[in-house]
Amino acid sequence: MNSHLIITCEHGGCEVPAEYATLFAGHKALLQTHRGWDPGALILARELASAFNAPLFFATTSRLLIDLNRSIGHRQLYSEFTRDLPAGRRQDIVTEHYRPHRDAVESQVDRVIAAGQRVVHIASHSFTPELRGVVRRADVACLYDPARAGERQWAAAWLSALARQRPDLRLRRNYPYQGKGDGLTALLRKRHSSDRYVGIELEVNQHFVIHGGAAWRLLRQDIAAAVPGFTVRPACETVLPVEVN
């Protein structure tokens, strides 16, 4: 069965639409932190999509307005800035800033599977090096549902290939979060069988983003080169991936 790669980035920016700006007055600094977005996740997603000429679905609205990687009804869907808004205004946020991204990804997955192909979905994320005083001891991790053999095998192959290229990296599975938890991949698993849908959340430590430079560029290249089952396009090709924002 042929596999079709798609790339998504749910927390690609910390933008706040103008009509909601007053909700975040005095909190601009917070929007710039890991609570507001996943620094580095979108540039990594763009480069993965470009490397494999894969469709890219991304959003740049801050997760403090609404978290695109949470299900409707989840307690973390809204932040402290939006959860107490009137129901109608919260629904407007869902309609304008949540459903467009989710619907686009879900429709793409549905179309590919209906055409008889398997979807490999990489969702690009990053994590803060330290949370509530606890240091995260990983550089790169893959989140997946261990009950789904396809995801278990695919993640193992990706991390094994990356370990061969970069033995200096600390690689983890289902860390610093559990891959079977709530998220866009979890929703798609409920709709599609394990032989037709492989959902992997890629997590990269933000210390690479913070320090930037050659180490961050090299990590992005090595992550792409280790992706199993797909061939990286030659660097000289200029075909751009499909992007849906």
Count of residues for the chain?
Answer: 245
Tokens in use for 171? 């690689």
Strand order from edge to edge, sheet including 243-244: 171-173, 140-143, 197-205, 118-127, 3-9, 56-58, 243-244
Could you give the domains of the chain? 3-244 (3.40.630.40)
Q: What is the pLDDT of residue 233?
A: 79
Rounded to 5 degrees, what angle do the CA atoms 40, 225, 6 make?
A: 65
Q: Which helix (H) or strand (E) holds 142?
A: strand 140-143
Banded pLDDT at 81 (limits 50, 70, 90): very high
- Rounding to the nearest 10 degrees, give the CA dihedral for residues 10, 14, 17, 23: 120
| CB burial readout 68-94, b (16+ within 10 A) else e | bbbeeeeeebbbebbeeeeeeebeebe
The answer to whether 74 and 94 are in contact (CB under 8 A) is no
CA 33/CA 207 separation, integer angstroms: 13
Tens-place pLDDT, residues 30-45: 999 999 999 999 999 9
At 20, phi and psi to the nearest 5? -115, 5
Q: What is the pLDDT of residue 244?
A: 54
Tens-place pLDDT, residues 98-150: 999 999 999 999 999 999 999 999 999 999 999 999 999 999 999 999 999 99
Q: How is the chain split among helix, strand and coil, in percent rounded to 5?
A: 40, 20, 45
The pLDDT of residue 236 is above 50: no
Q: What is the pLDDT of residue 1?
A: 80
Query: What average pLDDT does range 66-94 have in this prediction?
Result: 98
Q: What is the pLDDT of residue 245?
A: 59
CA 107/CA 44 separation, integer angstroms: 23
